Amino acid sequence: MFTKATLFGDAGFAGVAKAFRALGISDGTIMRLNYARNTMELDDAIISSAAKGGRSGRSVMVATTRQAAKFIEKTRDLFPGMIYTNMSSVGASSLADELCCWDRVLPTVSS
């Protein structure tokens, strides 16, 4: 999980952990990567993700639009075929707009 280091990120993490437990999966298997609020400094999260190998092939993000887009941009070549999802309080169109001009990215959005 890629989350903002705030209560918003904590709530998103708690929701995913609850869903894992409901499916009988240990929430201890969730890799959480944080970024500081109001910053584009994502290198620590990206380095941690690369070091741990993006095990599942899926990424749940609880991030603001620009940070989510930057995380996708920086990790998509590291993890070809990665499936990214983002929990958003404003809808999916802003992330799609941010991603639309990148080569090889075809965003699929759902609100």
Residues 35-80: pLDDT tens digits?
Answer: 888 878 777 777 776 666 655 677 788 888 888 888 888 888 888 8
Model pLDDT, residue 22: 96
Q: Are strands 58-62 and 33-35 parallel, antiparallel or unpaired?
A: unpaired
Q: Under 8 Å CB-to-CB from 64, ≥6 apart: which residues?
A: 4
CA R_g for the chain: 13
Residue 14: pLDDT band with limits 50, 70, 90:
very high
pTM above 0.85, yes or no: no
Q: Under 8 Å CB-to-CB from 71, ≥6 apart: which residues?
A: 2, 35, 42, 45, 46, 59, 61, 63
In the block, tokens 């990424």 appear at: 59
Model pLDDT, residue 111: 47
Residue spans of beta strands (DSSP E) within 5-82: 33-35, 58-62
Mean pLDDT of the chain: 79
